[in-house]
Amino acid sequence: MSTTSSDSAGASGRAVAGAVGIAGAPTDQGSGKGIAWLGEGSQLFILSVLGIGAFVLLMMLLSFVSEMFGGGGAGEAVDPGTGTITLALSTEPPQLDSTRATDMVSGQILGHVMEGLVRYDEFNRIVPGVAERWEIDESEAVFHLRDDSRWSDGTPVTAHDFVFAWRTAVEPETASEYAFILYPIKNARAVNEGDLPVTALGATAVDDHTLAVQLERPIGYFDKLVAFPTYYPIKQDFYEGRDGRYGADPEDLLYNGPFAIERWVHGAQLRMTRNDEYWARDRIHLNAIDYAYITSDVNATLNLFKDGKVAIASLDAETLHDALEQRWKLERFNDGSVFFIEFNHRPERLTHNRNLRKAIQLVVDPAELVYKVIKLPGNTPGESLFPVWLKGVNGYFRQEYPAPEHRVDIARAHDYLTRARQELGLDPLPPLIFLSGDNPAANKQSEYFQEVFASRLGLEVKIDRQIFKQRLAKMTAGEFDMVLAGWGPDYADPLTFGDLFASWNKNNRGAYVNPELDAWVEVAQSSLVPEERMQAFDEIQKIIYDDAVILPNYERGSVFVRNPRLKGVVRRAVGTDPDYTGAYIADG
């Protein structure tokens, strides 16, 4: 703005200076009063009427233009007449190309419009999808595809569509972030690293309806893995015909799932209607799912719910109070992820010292954090890296192999701290860097921990607040002593958590190295005996507690309100969530 000319700067300067002078000084306004002013009063009135008129006219004019960009008039939360439900989406799905999608929202949409070899049912069991049945042994998996599964253009879904999608995902040029999830397939890693041609991938279409997969190593959970979106099929000639725009708009996608996207106005609306080519269409009750609002504002979504415009609204600590006042029925579910304090185990860091970590571990009380600080129903105190919903040999893993018992013990904590001080030769210890996200929830938690460490251990902690990407950058570079971190599952096997602290895992951002833990991870990866695998996970669980690798904080829950007429919505930790495929509108 340094380019403003001297002329106009002078003019505006004059006007403003004059205005300030008058506002501050008493003037002889008395002389201005009189008959002349009276006329101006009514003139003002007429002018205001004209002004309002002009405003309304302008709005009407602009409304014609804006209809091209907006979601249009949305219906009621549930409309039994048309079989439509209306919902709000927290954000625009960033990527609907299943080979490259990485986020939850894209996964949620893809789970409704696509179908993989298998899918999850309402009890979170793996059930047939495009594949009717399958056999998996040590070196090979064979999937037999149903012959009535069709794309939305009416052509059949074949084994070739899976081979093409998987090859695309591991191809280096695709640069798929989730290519690693295909690594159990023979040569997938080598292809992805550019060492082998894409045709070397161990997946072949024996015929149109038989898919044979050669495995890199024995894998006991491959049936669960193929439920993941990266394993969804893509029709080759359609994909190639989109010229790099596959998934960008409704017409740039071919659907084989229960629904198809009918209308997608970026940032405003995404409307899915029942896919009449879907093989199990008789089981789908809803005609349309209309995400008519795209906003991450929890309060706005709750207002829409109150107004009867959306059928489901998630709650946070602030809106929860509002919902309680309305006496709405709250529903809660565990979203599957685990949150914890992760230590930096790099040798140059103080937290490399086990005694210091044990001292900190012994003053931390997850129950206090969950019930007194977070105070949002649905969250449960963290006890282990492995969340409670994971299945073990027969029942739940955590029932078969309970988490190590944890109790706050300040006296013992001080013993550990004294030893740590001696080993480190530092008294007092310099402040520890506590890396945290920059949002109200993270602030609350990091300040709570700061206070706990100070009052119970006399340990000074410096909070380093960073926005998401910066926090990740600092975690990766190891610029922290402790960090508030979390982990969400990719598939329904304990290994999705179990290999997190293996020395080779890129997500092991605290750089924890322990050959013993690595050995157990290898057992869990390649054994086909459930008992053996679960035993390995239990050993990992014990090491993580004994060595204070992380301090579990909570298993994240989610609270939401639902229109009572909308039934059959499935919430789950792994897979499409929320899942409306089996939802229906009850008679009200």
Partner 1 sequence: MIRYTVIRLIQGVITVWFIATATFFAMHAVPGDPLMNDKAISEEIRRNLEAQYGLDKPLPVQYVIYIGNMLKGDFGISFAQENRSVNDIIREHFPVSAILGILAITFAGLGGILFGALTARYRNKMPDIVIMFLVILGISVPSFVFAALGQFALVNLNAFFGTSILPVAGWGTLSHMIAPSLVLGLGTMAFLTRLMRSSMLEIVSSDYVRTARSKGLPTTRIFLRHELRNAILPVVTVLGPSIAAITTGGFVVELVFAIPGLGRYFVQAVQQLDYTVIMGTTVFYGAFLVFMVIVVDLLYGLIDPRVRLE
Complete DSSP assignment for 229-279: GGG----HHHHHHTTT-TTSSGGG----SSEEEEEEETTTEEEEEE-TT-T
**In the complex, minimum distance from the CB of residue 18 to partner 1, in angstroms, rounded to a whole number:** 5
Name the residue with tokens 């050959």. 515
For 430, residues 6+ apart whose C-beta sits below 8 A from its C-beta are: 350, 460
Which stretch in 4-12, 224-232, 277-285, 344-352 sits in contact with partner 1 by CB under 8 A? 4-12
Residue 300 engages partner 1 in binding (rule: CB under 8 A) = yes
Which stretch in 59-67, 114-122, 199-207, 372-380 sits in contact with partner 1 by CB under 8 A? 59-67
Residue 192 engages partner 1 in binding (rule: CB under 8 A) = yes
Contact 560, 88 (CB under 8 A): no
Among 122, 153, 297, 409, binds partner 1 (CB under 8 A): 297
Tell me the residue type at 145: L
Residue 418 engages partner 1 in binding (rule: CB under 8 A) = no
Closer by beta carbon to partner 1, 125 or else 266? 266
Binding to partner 1 in span 249-288, by CB under 8 A: 252, 265-268
Token digits of residue 64: 């014609």
Residue 588 engages partner 1 in binding (rule: CB under 8 A) = no
Residue 243 engages partner 1 in binding (rule: CB under 8 A) = no
**In the complex, minimum distance from the CB of residue 340 to partner 1, in angstroms, rounded to a whole number:** 15
Closer by beta carbon to partner 1, 413 or else 492? 492
Residue 23 engages partner 1 in binding (rule: CB under 8 A) = yes
Among 352, 354, 406, 509, binds partner 1 (CB under 8 A): 509
Round to whole Å and give the CA distance between 276 and 157.
15
Among 81, 172, 458, 564, binds partner 1 (CB under 8 A): 172
- Residue ranges of alpha helices (H) inside 248-394 are 298-306, 317-325, 354-363, 366-368
Closest by Cα among 329, 325, 336, 337 to 313: 329
Radius of gyration of the chain (CA): 30
Among 125, 245, 372, 462, binds partner 1 (CB under 8 A): 245
Contact characters 194-233, partner 1, x per CB under 8 A: x---------------------------------------
- Long-range pairs, 411-415, Cβ under 8 A, ≥24: 412/362, 413/358, 413/359, 413/360, 413/361, 413/362, 413/363, 413/456, 413/457, 414/359, 414/457
Residue 321 engages partner 1 in binding (rule: CB under 8 A) = no
Among 84, 152, 158, 176, binds partner 1 (CB under 8 A): 176
**In the complex, minimum distance from the CB of residue 21 to partner 1, in angstroms, rounded to a whole number:** 7
In terms of Cβ atoms closer than 10 Å to its own Cβ (0-12, 13-18, 19+), residue 204 is: middle
Count of residues interacting with partner 1 (CB under 8 A): 106
**In the complex, minimum distance from the CB of residue 283 to partner 1, in angstroms, rounded to a whole number:** 31
For 284, residues 6+ apart whose C-beta sits below 8 A from its C-beta are: 258, 259, 274, 278, 581, 582
Residue 577 engages partner 1 in binding (rule: CB under 8 A) = no
Closest by Cα among 480, 475, 463 to 508: 475
Beta bridge partners of 464: 435
Omega before residue 250 within 30° of 0, cis: no
Beta bridge partners of 582: none
Among 157, 179, 234, 482, binds partner 1 (CB under 8 A): 179
For 209, residues 6+ apart whose C-beta sits below 8 A from its C-beta are: 144, 145, 146, 147, 158, 159
Q: How far is CA 76 from the centre of its chain?
A: 27
Binding to partner 1 in span 119-158, by CB under 8 A: none
Residue 528 engages partner 1 in binding (rule: CB under 8 A) = no
Which stretch in 90-98, 377-385, 442-450, 549-557 sits in contact with partner 1 by CB under 8 A? 90-98
Among 107, 247, 336, 377, binds partner 1 (CB under 8 A): 247
Residue 36 engages partner 1 in binding (rule: CB under 8 A) = yes
Contact characters 96-125, partner 1, x per CB under 8 A: xx--x-x-----------------------
578 phi/psi in degrees, rounded to 5: -70, 155
**In the complex, minimum distance from the CB of residue 247 to partner 1, in angstroms, rounded to a whole number:** 6
Among 237, 347, 469, 515, binds partner 1 (CB under 8 A): 469
**In the complex, minimum distance from the CB of residue 587 to partner 1, in angstroms, rounded to a whole number:** 22
Q: How many residues does the chain have?
A: 588
Among 124, 287, 295, 526, binds partner 1 (CB under 8 A): 295
